[in-house]
């Protein structure tokens, strides 16, 4: 499966980010804590270049703590400032703000040395669609400043958001790269609702989710999805889930489409528990 999802507004978003980089002191790149490496946009990282970058593993409440800690260590090993955050509760926000202050310190010192007014740090927020940029900004701003939505690519246009007196964020639209050639990476992005629903089949994503659960969290299949024998084809397990949930159509057959949709939504909302895809 090759996901090819690069609508016209992505071209506009890429150009907008490139033009506005010169206006900011640093970049905060949001990644989904459940699959941070699959969320890394290689074109975006190349575009940012030498600009100071802070990696934030967002939605940390949906990923196992040990996996998040491991991912942070790897990112720091690559030379990035890195932190994890839950944009719903705000857990981790203090560390994120501290990293911004750390990254801005050389600019602040330069302004002081030249006798210039100390202005707020200017920070660009970037990431793939649906990684939680708007929720991240809304929490830090203390009120609903940025538009949020359930569909990838909902944020439009340049938005400056003042956070406290010492930080200004520039929000940007979610940006994908033109083509995802790796089948597994495409399926991970589909599970996380990062690519648009027209780019993949929910059936394929659901079967992949069952494979991940069998490997990483079989107790979820037993306890939450009420499956007994896991030594069966994934297609049978999916139908069994639908039957136990009462997703039946006329004649008693399983409504597989509804079962896939509900299963994916349960994963995305954390109803299946904390799960890392990487």
Give me the residue spans of the domains in the chain: 8-171, 201-268
Condensed to tens digits (0 to 9), the pLDDT of residues 208-263 reads 999 999 999 999 999 999 999 999 999 999 999 999 999 999 888 999 999 999 99
Sorting pLDDT into bands at 50, 70 and 90, what band is 155? Answer: very low
H helix runs in the chain, sequence order: 8-20, 42-48, 65-77, 93-113, 133-141, 183-191, 202-216, 218-223, 234-245, 256-268
Question: 101-110, 156-165, 191-200: which has the minimum mean pLDDT?
Answer: 156-165
User: Is the confidence at residue 28, as pLDDT, over 50?
Assistant: yes
Q: Which helix (H) or strand (E) holds 160?
A: strand 159-163
User: Is the confidence at residue 143, as pLDDT, over 70?
Assistant: no
Domain 201-268 sits in CATH at 1.10.1580.10
Condensed to tens digits (0 to 9), the pLDDT of residues 72-95 reads 999 999 999 999 999 999 999 999
Domain 8-171 sits in CATH at 3.40.50.300
Sorting pLDDT into bands at 50, 70 and 90, what band is 2? Answer: very low
- Closest by alpha carbon to 277, among 240, 74, 268? 268
Range 219-227 contact pairs with CB under 8 angstroms and sequence separation of 24 or more: 220/272, 220/273, 220/275, 224/271, 224/272, 224/273, 225/272
Contact, 97 vs 167, CB < 8 A? yes
pLDDT, position 92:
96
Q: How much of the chain is helix, strand and coil, in % rounded to 5?
A: 45, 15, 40
Condensed to tens digits (0 to 9), the pLDDT of residues 93-118 reads 999 999 999 999 999 999 999 999 99
Burial 88-100 (b: 16+ CB within 10 A, else e): beeebbeebbebb
Mean pLDDT of 158-165: 74
Query: Helix 183-191 and helix 202-216: axis angle, to 10°?
Result: 90
Report pTM: 0.87
Condensed to tens digits (0 to 9), the pLDDT of residues 265-275 reads 999 999 999 99
Contact, 156 vs 218, CB < 8 A? no
């Amino acid at each position: 499966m090759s996901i090819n999802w690069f609508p016209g507004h992505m071209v506009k978003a890429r150009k907008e980010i490139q033009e506005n980089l010169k206006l900011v002191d640093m970049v905060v790149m949001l990644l989904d804590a459940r699959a941070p490496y699959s969320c890394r946009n290689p074109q975006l990282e190349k575009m940012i270049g030498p600009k100071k970058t802070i990696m934030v593993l967002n939605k940390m409440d949906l990923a196992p703590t040990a996996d998040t800690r491991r991912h942070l260590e790897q990112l720091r090993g690559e030379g990035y400032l890195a932190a994890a955050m839950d944009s719903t509760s705000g857990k981790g926000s203090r560390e994120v703000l501290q990293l911004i202050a750390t990254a801005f310190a050389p600019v602040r010192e330069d302004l002081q040395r030249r006798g210039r007014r100390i202005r707020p740090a200017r920070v660009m927020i970037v990431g793939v669609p649906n990684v939680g940029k708007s929720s991240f900004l809304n929490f830090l701003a203390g009120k609903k400043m940025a538009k949020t939505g359930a569909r990838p690519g909902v944020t439009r246009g340049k938005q400056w958001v003042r956070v406290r007196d010492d930080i200004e964020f520039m929000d940007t639209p979610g940006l994908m790269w033109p083509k995802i050639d790796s089948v597994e990476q495409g399926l991970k992005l589909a599970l996380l609702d990062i690519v648009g629903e027209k780019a993949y089949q929910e059936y394929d994503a659901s079967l992949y989710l069952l494979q991940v659960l069998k490997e990483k969290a079989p107790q979820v299949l037993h306890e939450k999805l009420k499956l007994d024998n896991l030594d069966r084809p994934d297609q049978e397990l999916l139908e069994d889930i639908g039957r136990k949930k009462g997703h039946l159509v006329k004649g008693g057959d399983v409504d597989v489409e509804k079962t896939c949709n509900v299963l994916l939504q349960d994963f995305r909302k954390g109803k299946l528990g904390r799960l890392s895809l990487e």
